[in-house]
Amino acid sequence: MLRSIKDLHGSTVSASDGDIGSVSQAYFDDESWGVRYLVVETGNWLNDRQVLVSPYSVKHTDPGSSSVHVGLSRQQVRDSPMLDTHKPVSRQHEIEYLRYYSYPTYWGGPNLWGMGAYPAYDPTGVPPDALPEAPAGPTLHTNKPEPDVHLRSTNEVKGYHLKTADGSIGHVSDFIYDDTNWAIRYLVVEAHNWWPGGKAVLIAAHWIDGVDWFDSTVSTALTRDIIRDSPAYDDSMPIERHYEVVLHRFYGKHGYWSDADADERIASD
């Protein structure tokens, strides 16, 4: 099911023995566009500490009740590696985190989640000593993100301008992700100020060429005119496959689903 990151914000994260806190943002990988972590505000029970929750631990989400159920205990969360929210999440911190929970790495494999397409794993089959050692920290003092780290905050990228082949148009206002494999499928771009009667549109993540940390932009080879004429996005309606097919065919792009599935959906309408 396709869901909005905006709607995920504020959702209660429930552990096996009580609530952990609420989702404040997500970290995603801007190379493969996977949601790697939810950032959870723990509130008073953990001195307002922020913790990371990986999709590996998510058992299921309830869109109607705004809750995320995880296969963790509150004690596990209490003892998890500390997160410095004033710095980008480094690969060193990620490895420390994954080793603590005995999760496999998501990088270095052919699929979105390493060797798998989904954040599923056998907790008895990934011993902590099978994970790589955390690398030494950087020797140079810098406030810039490490070059091999591509994790971005949804809260930060929200508001970035969309840079097209012929200029800028609109800004990112939300992200649409698949709650099965936690892949970001679309960026929601608000373009109301760019032409009379402007609208919100969806730009598929695989049409994005890059995210510029310093210029606060996301770039695409699409043009402003084609985006202006593209099918509008209505956030009050669920995103159906038919809409996705129409959107991709408008742009002359292949979808992330199979062509046979697309033809079947179109024929049934």
Confidence at residue 86, expressed as pLDDT on a 0 to 100 scale: 77
Contact 28, 151 (CB under 8 A): yes
Confidence at residue 103, expressed as pLDDT on a 0 to 100 scale: 94
pLDDT at 252 over 60: yes
User: How is residue 252 annotated by DSSP?
Assistant: T
pLDDT at 54 over 50: yes
Q: CA nearest 209: which of 198, 199, 196, 222?
A: 222
pLDDT at 116 over 50: yes
Secondary structure (3-state) at 137: coil
Confidence at residue 129, expressed as pLDDT on a 0 to 100 scale: 52
Least confident of 152-166, 192-206, 220-234: 192-206
Q: What percent of the chain has pLDDT over 90?
A: 67
- Identify which has the larger pLDDT, 7 or 133: 7
Q: Tell me the per-residue pLDDT of 125-152, one tens digit each, with 9 for 90 and over.
A: 655 555 555 554 443 333 444 444 679 9
Confidence at residue 50, expressed as pLDDT on a 0 to 100 scale: 95
Q: Tell me the per-residue pLDDT of 207-237, one tens digit each, with 9 for 90 and over.
A: 999 999 899 999 999 999 999 899 999 999 9
pLDDT at 81 over 60: yes
pLDDT at 203 over 90: yes
Residue by residue, what is the 3-state secondary structure of 58-113?
Answer: EEEEECCCCEEEECCCHHHHHCCCCCCCCCCCCHHHHHHHHHHHCCCCCCCCCECE
Burial (CB count within 10 angstroms: exposed 0-12, middle 13-18, buried 19+), residue 252: exposed
> In whole numbers, what is the pLDDT of the chain averaged over residues?
86
Least confident of 34-43, 90-99, 195-204: 195-204
For range 93-100, the mean pLDDT: 94
- Work out the pLDDT band at 32, boundaries 50, 70, 90: very high
Domains in the chain with CATH codes: 2-152 (2.30.30.240), 158-268 (3.90.50.10)
pLDDT at 247 over 90: yes
Contacts of 187 (CB under 8 A, 6+ apart): 162, 172, 174, 175, 176, 202, 203, 205, 208, 218
- Work out the pLDDT band at 260, boundaries 50, 70, 90: very low
39/263 Cα distance (integer angstroms)? 38
Confidence at residue 55, expressed as pLDDT on a 0 to 100 scale: 97
**Could you tell me the two tokens for 199?**
């609208």
pTM over 0.85: yes
Q: CA nearest 208: which of 159, 232, 172, 182?
A: 172
User: What count of residues does the chain have?
Assistant: 269
Contact 41, 22 (CB under 8 A): yes
| Cross-strand partners of 254 | none
